Structure 1
Amino acid sequence: MAKSNCEHLQIYKLAESLADEIWDIAGNWEQFAKDTIGKQIVLSVDSIGANIAEGTERHNFADHQRYIRQALSSLNETRYWLRRAYTRHLLTREQIKKLKPIVDELSLKLNTYLKSMGAVPEQHEPS
Structure 2
Amino acid sequence: MGRPDFEDLQVYKLSEKLGNEIWKIVLRWDNFPKDTIGKQIIRAADSIGANIAEGRGRYNFQDNKRFVKIARGSMNETIHWMRLAYRRNLLTNEQVNILKPIIEELSPKLNAYLNSIGNGND
TM-score range, shorter chain: over 0.9
Residue number in structure 1 paired with 2:100: 100
Residue number in structure 1 paired with 2:18: 18
Question: C-alpha separation between the residues in 2 aligned to 1:43 and 1:80?
Answer: 13
Question: C-alpha separation between the residues in 1 aligned to 2:79 and 2:37?
Answer: 12
Mapped pair 1:68 → 2:65: no
Unaligned runs of 5+ in 2: none
| Number of residue pairs the alignment of both structures matches | 119
Instruction: Please report the TM-score for the alignment, with normalisation by the length of structure 2.
Output: 0.93
Relative contact order (alpha carbons < 8 A, sep ≥ 6): 1 or 2 greater? 2
Specify the code of the residue in structure 1 equivalent to 2:32. Answer: F
Question: C-alpha separation between the residues in 1 aligned to 2:58 and 2:104?
Answer: 26
Question: C-alpha separation between the residues in 1 aligned to 2:118 and 2:79?
Answer: 26
Residue number in structure 1 paired with 2:115: 115
Question: C-alpha separation between the residues in 2 aligned to 1:48 and 1:117?
Answer: 17
Unaligned runs of 5+ in 1: 120-127
Instruction: Please report the TM-score for the alignment, with normalisation by the length of structure 1.
Output: 0.90
- Partner of 2:13: helix, strand, or coil? helix
| 8 Å CA contact 2:64, 2:117 repeated in 1 | no
Residue number in structure 2 paired with 1:57: 57
1:118: Cα distance to partner?
Answer: 5.9
1:117: Cα distance to partner?
Answer: 2.4
Question: C-alpha separation between the residues in 2 aligned to 1:57 and 1:44?
Answer: 20
**Identity percentage of aligned residues:** 56
Question: C-alpha separation between the residues in 2 aligned to 1:109 and 1:52?
Answer: 12
Residue number in structure 2 paired with 1:81: 81
Question: C-alpha separation between the residues in 2 aligned to 1:113 and 1:51?
Answer: 13
Specify the code of the residue in structure 2 equivalent to 1:7. Answer: E
1:116: Cα distance to partner?
Answer: 1.8
User: Over the residues paired in the alignment, what is the CA RMSD in angstroms?
Assistant: 1.5
